[in-house]
Amino acid sequence: MKTITRLDLEDARVLIAGAEAHAREIGVPMCIAVVDESAQLIAFERMEGGKVTSTTIALDKAFTAAGAKKATHEYGASSQPGAPAYGIFSAIGGRLMVVGGGLPIAFDGAVVGGIGVSSGTPAQDQAVAQAGIDHWLAQQK
């Protein structure tokens, strides 16, 4: 049985390839970031036409997902005025993201990294991130 405790560059390339394939399928060029379990960047790609402003957003989505071990969209409702985590988006120097597109990458129940995607709607970003994870997981069998 395969054991993975952290992502490496080869894993990051597989994740990006899966994400990029889905982004092309839906016709939205994306910025895609992959980080390791400690939220440090392994690989990044800005597809031709990906928004320049989405570079930082994708990096911060991946950082949030791996560091907090939680999908970025899960912070959305709880970070609104009056909610328990209101203002959390300003945490960690403003790097904590509260919109969809950042997902933790888990293997055998442990978070081994994160993927962050930006340039589309939050739902598109999240779907592209999930496609990257699904592609990577299929390679692990």
pLDDT over 90 at 80, yes or no: no
- At position 113, the amino acid (one-letter code) is G
Q: Where are the domains of the chain?
A: 9-138
pLDDT digits 0-9 by tens, 1-36: 577 888 999 999 999 999 999 999 999 999 999 999
CATH architecture of 9-138: 2-Layer Sandwich (3.30)
**Token digits of residue 119:** 């340039």
Question: Average pLDDT of 111-123?
Answer: 98
Q: So what's the pLDDT on residue 16?
A: 98
pLDDT digits 0-9 by tens, 39-74: 999 999 999 999 999 999 999 999 999 999 999 999
Write the secondary structure of the chain as one string of H (helix), E (strand) and C (coil). Answer: CCCCCCCCHHHHHHHHHHHHHHHHHHCCCCEEEEEECCCCEEEEEECCCCCCCHHHHHHHHHHHHHHHCCCHHHHCHHHCCCCCCCCHHHHHHHCCCCCCCEEEEEECCEEEEEEEEECCCHHHHHHHHHHHHHHHHHHCC
Question: Average pLDDT of 116-136?
Answer: 98
Q: So what's the pLDDT on residue 60?
A: 97
**Token digits of residue 141:** 């069998």
pLDDT over 90 at 87, yes or no: no
63-67, 75-79, 127-131: which has the minimum mean pLDDT? 75-79
Question: Average pLDDT of 109-122?
Answer: 97
